[in-house]
Structure 1
Amino acid sequence: MPRIPYPSSGDISSENAALLADLPDLNVFKMMARSGAAFAPFMALVNAYLNDGTLDPELRELTILRVGHKNAAQYEVWHHERVSRELGMAEERIMAAGGTLPSPLLNDAENAALVLADDIIENTRASDKSFTAAHAHLGDNQTTELVVVIGVYQMVCAFLETMDIEIESGPVAAGRLEKIKAGVSRSA
C-alpha cells in the first residue's frame, strides 16, 4: 500500500489530470501526477528518450533494468522486464541485466553500459575506467544520453521505493512505454 493514496482527479491540477488521462494506467504515473508542476516536464523527459532517443532500445532497457535491480526496485524491474519482452528480447538477456558482469549474453557495449550504471549508482561520479569503456562504444551523444537515463531511473527508483508504489493488480495494456506520446509530445 502506498504511503500516500493515489490521487483522485480533485487532488491534482486539471492539467495533470488531463495528462494522466492520456497516459497508460500505471500506478507510478498516478502518484507522479501529485508532483504538481514537475509532472508534465518529467513526462516530456521520459518521452524524449523513449521516443526520440539515440540509444539502442535493448541497451536502454538493459540499463534501466540494471538500475532497477541495483536499487531493489521491484516495480521498476517488473515493468521494464515487460517492456523488454515486448521489444522481443530473449529472456536470458533480460535476466542478465540483474546478474554478474560482464555477461556473455550481452555484447561489449551493453556490458560497458551496465558497468557504468553500477559505477554511477555506487559512486555518483563514475570512474575514468567505466566511463571511457562505455564512451568508446557509444560516443559523445549516446554516452550523455546513457548517463541521463541512469540518473532518471535512479530518481524513479527512489520515488517508487519511498512512496511504496505497488505493481498493478490487473493486466497492463499491451504496448511499450514508447507509446507515451499523448500530452507530452515535443510541445510539452
Structure 2
Amino acid sequence: MTRVPLADMDAQPERVRQFIERRGALNVLRLLANAPNVFGGWAEMVGEIFASDTFTARLREVIILRVGHLQDSPYELAQHVGLARTAGLTEQQIDALVGDGDLAAAGFSSTERTVIDTVTELCTTHRLSDESFAAAHALFGDEALTELLMIVSCYYGLALVLNAADVDIDAEARFQP
C-alpha cells in the first residue's frame, strides 16, 4: 500500500491537473503532485524525454526498462512494458531487459547492446569505465550521450521515489506519452 497519500486532484493547480489528466491519472503522478514546487519541472523533463527525436521510442523504452529492472522498480516496469511492446520490442527482448532472459540471444542491434551495456554499467557501478564511455560516445556523440544519461537519471531517481513510497501499481491506468 502506498506509504504517502496520493494528492487530491481537486486541490491541485490547473496546470498540474491538466498534466495528470492528459497522462492517465496515474498513481505516480498523484504522488508527485504532493510536491507542487518541483512537479512542473519534473513534468517538463519527462515531456521533453518523450518529445525528443534523439532516440526512437523503442530505444527509449530499452533504456527505461533496463533502469526499472536494475532499480528493482515494479511500478516502472508495469508502466513501461506495454509501451515497450508498442515500440516494437519482442517478449524475448523484454524478458532479457528485465532479467529473465538472455541478452545475447534476444536479437538486439549493436546500438541497442551498447545502450544496454552502458545503462547496466552506470546503474550497477554508478560510473562508466573509460572503455564504456568511449564506446557510447563514439556511437552517440556529446548531445545524444548526454540525453541518454539524462533519461537514465530521470528514471533512476523516479524508481527511488516509487520504491521509497511503495506506490501501488495502477490496476488499469497506463502512461500516455
What's the TM-score once normalised by structure 1's chain length? 0.84
How far 1:28 moved relative to its partner? 0.6
Q: Structure 1 residues 141, 113: closer, same or farther in 2, change over 3 A?
A: same
Q: What secondary structure sits across from 1:151 in the alignment?
A: helix
Distance in 1 of aligned mates of 2:61 and 2:21: 25
Q: Deviations over 1:142-174 (max 9, x none)?
A: 1111000011111010011011111112x235x
Give the Cα–Cα distance (whole angstroms) in 1 for the partners of residues 22 and 59 of structure 2. 27
Structure 2 contact 58–89 (Cα < 8 Å) conserved: yes
- Which residue of 140, 143, 147 maps to 1:141? 143
**Could you tell which deviates more after superposition, 97-106 or 1-10?**
97-106
Deviates more, 1:101-110 or 1:21-30: 101-110
Q: 1:139-178 maps to which residues of 2 (within 5 A)?
A: 139-169=141-171, 171-172=172-173, 177-178=176-177
Deviation, structure 1 residue 88: 2.8
Identify the residue that residue 103 of structure 1 maps to in structure 2.
104
Structure 2: how far apart are the matches of 1:89 and 1:62?
A: 8
In structure 2, the partner of 1:72 is 72
RMSD: 2.0
How many residue pairs match? The answer is: 175
Structure 1, residues 69-97: CA drift from partner, whole Å, max 9, x if none?
01110111111111011223221122221
Identity of aligned residues (%): 27
- Counterpart CA distance in 1 for 2:102 and 2:135 is 14
* 2:116 matches 1:123: no
Q: List runs of 5+ in structure 1 lacking aligned partners.
A: 179-188
- Go from structure 1 to structure 2 and tell me whether the alpha carbon gap of 1:91 and 1:101 turns closer, same or farther (over 3 Å shift): closer
Verify the 8 A CA contact 1:67 1:117 in the aligned structure 2: yes
Q: Where do 5+ consecutive residues of structure 2 fail to align? A: none
Identify the residue that residue 62 of structure 2 maps to in structure 1: 62
Change (3 A) 1:162 1:33: same
Structure 1 pair 95–102 and aligned structure 2 pair: CA distance change class (3 A): closer
CA contact under 8 A between 1:81 and 1:94: conserved in structure 2? yes
CA distance in 1, matches of 2:98, 2:23: 28
Is the 1:11–1:34 contact (alpha carbons within 8 Å) kept by the matching residues of 2? Answer: no
Identify the residue that residue 182 of structure 1 maps to in structure 2.
none
